[in-house]
Chain A
Amino acid sequence: MAPRSFQARLLLLMVGVLVLLQVATLLAVHLAGQRSLRRTLRDELRVGARVFDSTLSARGRQLSDTVRVLAADFAFREAVASGDRPTITSVLNNHGSRIAADAVFLIGLDGSVAADTLADSRFVDRPFPLPALVDRAREKGEAAGVVALDALDHRPYQFVVVPVLAPEPIAWVCIGFTIDERVLDGVRDLTALDVSLVASPPDGRPLLISALPRDKRAELLERLREQSRTAESLQLGGETYETLLEPLETADGSRVQMLLQRSLEQASGPLRQLELRILALSSAALLVAIVAASFFARGVTSPLRRLAEAARRIGRGDYATPVGVTQGDEIGQLAAAFDGMRAGISQREEQIRFQATHDALTGLPNRVLFLDRLAVEIAQARRRGSLVGLAVMDLDRFKEINDTLGHSFGDDLLVEVGRRLGQTIRASDTVARLGGDEFAVMFEVADARGALDVAARVGRALEAPLTLGGVSIDVNASLGIALCPLHADDAGTLMKRADVAMYQAKRQHGAVAVYEPGRDEHSLRRLAILSELRQAVAGDQLELHFQPQVALAGGRVRRAEALVRWRHPRYGLMSPDEFVTLAEQSGNVGLITRWVLQQAVAACDEWQRAGLDLAVAVNLSALDLHDPELPAFVVGLLQQRSLPPARLVLEITESAAMKDPAHAQTTLGELKARGLALAIDDYGTGQSSLAQLKRLRVDELKIDKSFVTHLGGGASEDALIVRSTIELGHNLGLEVVAEGVEDAAAWERLERFGCDLAQGYFVSRPLPEPQFREWLETSSWGQGRGAPSGDQRSAGERASGAGGNA
């Protein structure tokens, strides 16, 4: 499990390296120490051997002197000269004990033992066993040597031979001193080594004289038997002894070895102490290193943590707090970069926020911010018990100005208006541009009169002519005022109410109107639609959807009806039912019709280019029939695109046709004359007479969907009407189209009745152009092999559910 935090890893690394180094050092010291210790020990042992040797030599000399003095003793000599063996033996004993001798021999000049101090006198009258020693004494006056006589007790002795002079040699006296533990103790005291002597008599039972503790002697003998060759280290009593075994020079050739030892454990005491000291030092160093490392790691990581904290703060959107890491190193640079980033983000966010909440042109708050502030203001005013006034303003004739003098002029105008409004209001008030030429002012007032005062001020601000680029222009505005809480309790409602008031002002051609309670939302919407329709046509808010019409015989798509939709910025997608009537009322329907015609012809042209044999149907309004220029416009469009006139079917509702039959007859006649196909829409709802129909010279009838929709359900009355209408149409030579076909049953009936074309959700709902093209390519209807089966509709179409056709 590796530690996660950087600090822990850093710490681990530093401490790990240190520990490794120290272990290596300790190991090196230990190994070198051991090697050096061994070498030192071997040297010590060799020196010890020499010390042992010289100690024995010195003892030999000292003993010689002692013996010489003894042999010079007159009484001794006298006794020896007496020749009386008991006397001689007793003087040997007597004088031998004076010098603590262990064995005394008197050797005659002939080399045989004359007397000795041994209990059994085993050597007497026999040749002295060490003639070489006597010979040397004869040559040098004295002789000393180490012996381990088998005939004695195998123990190592130092023998000293000197002549008995009277004054010429009359005999040899040989005195033996055992080399005992005391001698070895002396050597041990000198050398600090454990010293032993090993005598190995021919009978193979080594004899050990040792200064070692008693319990170790037996073990040592055991080891020596096991390792007859000189082993350099021996195990004794759980301790390792560095050992040197060296032969001792003996006078009689017997095998005596000196054994020098030093306990490795004892010898390595100082070394171990040194190692312990190093270990202690290492541990202390390690401790210091850990502390230092953690300090260092903290020094590195705590600014990092602060940086991380700062990053989290920035993430939370707190740009105010500085990072707070100031140091000269790389982390400091990182912190500085961080701070720079923080400032940059803060600045850019400020910019984005400003852009999101302000109008790019005038720099005034936009609708979003304004509504926000309005809500805040309302809440505050509620607490204070004061009124919040809202004035919504719309410049009169702005579109005209825009169209005439250019967009750039229009923009300048808006900027200037914004500037003037800004100068007019108090600091606590807010001016916003809601969009287009619509401005709003929010202010705090005591009562409605105060609100009118504000309105008057605004009016005065715009009174002076605006001079822009050398062009002087009068600007008039319509101002709608609503007050909270008199007219509404929340910002949204207050806004709508002020809007309503503004439309009121516009309608009354007055400059200012205060909201009158009772004017509802609908009227507001109607007013809004009315005022915005022209803008919708120009501002690209209209869309064209297409619904296919399929031949019941063969199932081929023959044409598509173009249906207009208004994607209103505030109210969303609106169907023509809602706005066409209003357009008719406001006299704007011609604009819409022309736009639709243009788009439909363009789409048809594209289909043709794509190799699709499709006609397009467009609805005309009753008012369009009053437009004398319409036929020429239509023909112009077709010619532009080089489309045959039969590609365009113009539909007119039955009610429209019947409303002003004369005009209808003229216009339709003209269209008919130019080769266009005509259809009566919504047939069955307008109580038209056959004669009238005949006069209108239409080419087809579209049975109203109210008859068709329930056809599948088995309503016999509807079926009767549909059937008879089809028959009627056919009898008049007209094609019959059934609208609102929503299921297979209806389709089958219509097919049976001999209806020509079907349109409805059973085939497809109205689709925007790209989807419509896609539908044509993918749907079986589009392939021209549509079969009237129940599962013909795609899942998407089914899901969209039943709904009235456009």
Chain B
Amino acid sequence: MRVVASLVLWAGLPALAPAASLVVEVRDAHGEPLSEAVVYAVPEGRKAPPPSRPAVLDQKNRTFVPHVLPVQTGTAVTFPNSDNVRHQVYSFSPAKRFQLPLYQGTPAAPVVFDKPGVVALGCNIHDRMSAYVVVVDTPHFALTEAGRAELAGLPEGRYAVRVWYEGQRRELEAQPATLTAGERRELTFQAGR
């Protein structure tokens, strides 16, 4: 229930009709549950509402936290630096090229990710630091935990369900799902070999 409530809260819509939910299981090439995979369902035939709130990608102990951050297109992400060393955050990904020159604390302006796509992030002075901001055109996304993720509060309708995970060779084929109200559907993605 909590999830539904939050979805409703995120969507900012009055949830009058009972929502559907998707439980997606992602397995790697060996059939093992895959964590930190981004699961998202893109509604077809209608526009998603604009993002409602910013996101945060923190840097702690010379690590981006979280490592994978799914956001809806147009989300502003702030990159606070919680370390006592400076970082220089950059991205050469086509979805969002930017760099934040060496800084400490929280930079004044957040970075707005206005194009869908995977944005690989790095720190120019700490080669080991990496993070991904996965920009999707939908507010319905979630990260797998122990290979599973649930998208709840999905309005009735048709969706293209997609998965992205770090290190994927090629994009897994999207699975279409037409959800009816109150339906709980389970989908499984198997990473290719």
Instruction: Enumerate chain A interface residues (CB-CB to B < 8 A).
Output: 72, 74, 77-78, 81, 165-168, 170
Distance in angstroms from B59 CB to nearest chain A CB is: 14
Check A165 against B127 for contact (C-beta < 8 Å): yes
Chain B residues, CB < 8 A from A166: 90-93, 120, 122
- In chain A, what residue has the closest Cβ to B124? A74
Chain B residues, CB < 8 A from A77: 92
Distance in angstroms from B95 CB to nearest chain A CB is: 13
**Between-chain CB contacts (< 8 Å), 15 pairs:** A74-B90, A74-B124, A78-B92, A81-B97, A165-B122, A165-B127, A166-B92, A166-B122, A167-B121, A167-B122, A167-B127, A167-B129, A168-B120, A168-B130, A170-B92
B128-143: which have CB < 8 Å to A?
A: 129-130
Q: Which 3 A-B pairs have the closest CB atoms?
A: A81-B92, A167-B122, A167-B130
Distance in angstroms from A166 CB to nearest chain B CB is: 4
- In chain A, what residue has the closest Cβ to B88? A74
Q: Tell me which of A72, A78, A81, A170 contacts B127 (CB under 8 A).
A: A72
A165 to B124, CA, bound (A): 11
A167 to B127, CA, bound (A): 7
A72 to B120, CA, bound (A): 15
Q: Chain B contact residues (Cβ within 8 angstroms of A): what range?
A: 10 to 19
Distance in angstroms from B108 CB to nearest chain A CB is: 23
Over the window 159-181 of chain B, the binary record of Cβ atoms lying under 8 Å from chain A Cβ atoms (1 yes, 0 no) is 00000000000000000000000
Additional 4 contacts, C-beta under 8 A, given A81-B97, A166-B93: A77-B92, A166-B120, A167-B130, A170-B92
Chain A residues, CB < 8 A from B90: 74, 166
Distance in angstroms from A325 CB to nearest chain B CB is: 106
B105-124: which have CB < 8 Å to A?
A: 120-122, 124
Chain A residues, CB < 8 A from B130: 167-168
B77-106: which have CB < 8 Å to A?
A: 90-93, 97
Chain A residues, CB < 8 A from B92: 77-78, 81, 166, 170
A81 to B94, CA, bound (A): 9
- In chain B, what residue has the closest Cβ to A170? B92
Distance in angstroms from A422 CB to nearest chain B CB is: 149
Distance in angstroms from B125 CB to nearest chain A CB is: 9
A170 to B92, CA, bound (A): 9
- In chain A, what residue has the closest Cβ to B118? A168
A78 to B124, CA, bound (A): 11
Chain B residues, CB < 8 A from A167: 120-122, 127, 129-130
Chain B residues, CB < 8 A from A165: 122, 127
A81 to B92, CA, bound (A): 6
A16 to B149, CA, bound (A): 105
- In chain B, what residue has the closest Cβ to A80? B92
A168 to B127, CA, bound (A): 10
Distance in angstroms from A74 CB to nearest chain B CB is: 5
Chain A residues, CB < 8 A from B129: 167
- In chain B, what residue has the closest Cβ to A164? B92
Chain A residues, CB < 8 A from B127: 72, 165, 167
Chain B residues, CB < 8 A from A81: 92, 97
Distance in angstroms from A84 CB to nearest chain B CB is: 13
Chain B residues, CB < 8 A from A72: 127
A77 to B93, CA, bound (A): 12
A77 to B99, CA, bound (A): 13
- In chain B, what residue has the closest Cβ to A168? B120
A594 to B92, CA, bound (A): 179
Chain A residues, CB < 8 A from B122: 165-167
- In chain A, what residue has the closest Cβ to B123? A167
A77 to B125, CA, bound (A): 13
A499 to B75, CA, bound (A): 186
A77 to B92, CA, bound (A): 9
Chain A residues, CB < 8 A from B120: 166-168
Distance in angstroms from A369 CB to nearest chain B CB is: 142
A78 to B130, CA, bound (A): 16
Distance in angstroms from A141 CB to nearest chain B CB is: 12
- In chain B, what residue has the closest Cβ to A77? B92
Chain A residues, CB < 8 A from B97: 81
- In chain B, what residue has the closest Cβ to A82? B92
Distance in angstroms from B192 CB to nearest chain A CB is: 17
Chain A residues, CB < 8 A from B121: 167
Distance in angstroms from A79 CB to nearest chain B CB is: 10
A167 to B122, CA, bound (A): 5
